[in-house]
Structure 1
Amino acid sequence: MGMPRALVLALLVAAGCASSATERGALPALQTVQHVELPRYLGTWYEIASVPQRFQRGCTATTADYSLRDDGEIDVLNRCRKESLDGERDEAKGRARVVDSKTNAKLEVSFFRPFWGDYWIIDLDEDYRWAVVGHPGRDYLWILSREPTLDPEVYEGILERLRAQHYDTARLVRTLQPVPSAEG
């Protein structure tokens, strides 16, 4: 991600935090999962769906890779293909840090310091096969999976729980991912 896109991302995160502070009062507090085992959460995640954001415009085959740093923070590497599955590769490198060590479910992420944005894990499969990342103002939302696809029944269950958390699931857009080959 070039400097101008990183700056735009940082400004959007800051603006999202500011605008959601006034809107948040009408909604109940966003609930996170009770606990996240960070070593199990690390690794590669495929984006299944998200609320569209300017900094992800045109992205397909989106993935996020998380790895633990020696200082306890987390390296973040987001990748996508622009406009099509064969499109130009794009990536953004950032850093995340836990802000609630009691649960490890509330993190902050930065792609352009000193700006940090909330990254809250609000739903998580007990086997860490899928996760849902949200924002306390409900401005951002990502459904992630360890595989490029997610069972439709699992997806519908996630949507139901998101609606219970007062997310407008009609805003979600499915992310185009490569279809796994049926080699055997």
Structure 2
Amino acid sequence: MTQLERRLRPMLGADLERVLAWRNHPDVRRHMYTQRLITLEEHQAWFERASRDTRRHLWIYEQASIPQGYVNLNIVDEYAGRADWGFYLAPGSPPGSGQGLGQCTLAYAFHTLGLHKLCAEVLAKNHRSLRFHERLGFRREATLRDHYFDGNDYHDVIGFGLLAEEWCHLQGEDPV
């Protein structure tokens, strides 16, 4: 698939039900901090709040014009150029969708927004996401012990970071 067939576009109100269905799917939900089912009303209220927050960037990842995932960038320190990200793919998305989502998001974060650093938190039991972040070039920066409680057990969370210069180096580009 060519780069032109993969893109991020702003999330719209018309995307709410689709994104909620992805979010509530058991394969997605089990890796979230909030693992219970989210209602449409809660989802709509979240979207209204997040859409008004200029630090939040809510995106739909598309391949060949078909929505395949959701991305949330949250600028936590504008002065330092640091943001957190979260994402999930549509259940059943085609192979390579994660890599496409990651590359599109990192290009947006570092080239368009001019961020210095992108951070992530991953539940230590989510081995697929841990490997995904490492393949994109993120480095493990922290182990937050017993950081997440799922209602029954405590779980470690792994903190990741990726600097713009590291990402550019991986892309064979001059640092931004």
Q: Comparing both structures, which one devotes a greater share of its residues to helix?
A: 2
Larger RCO: Structure 1 or Structure 2 (Cα < 8 Å, ≥ 6 residues apart)?
A: 1
Q: Structure 1 length as normaliser, TM-score?
A: 0.37
Q: TM-score, normalised by structure 2?
A: 0.38
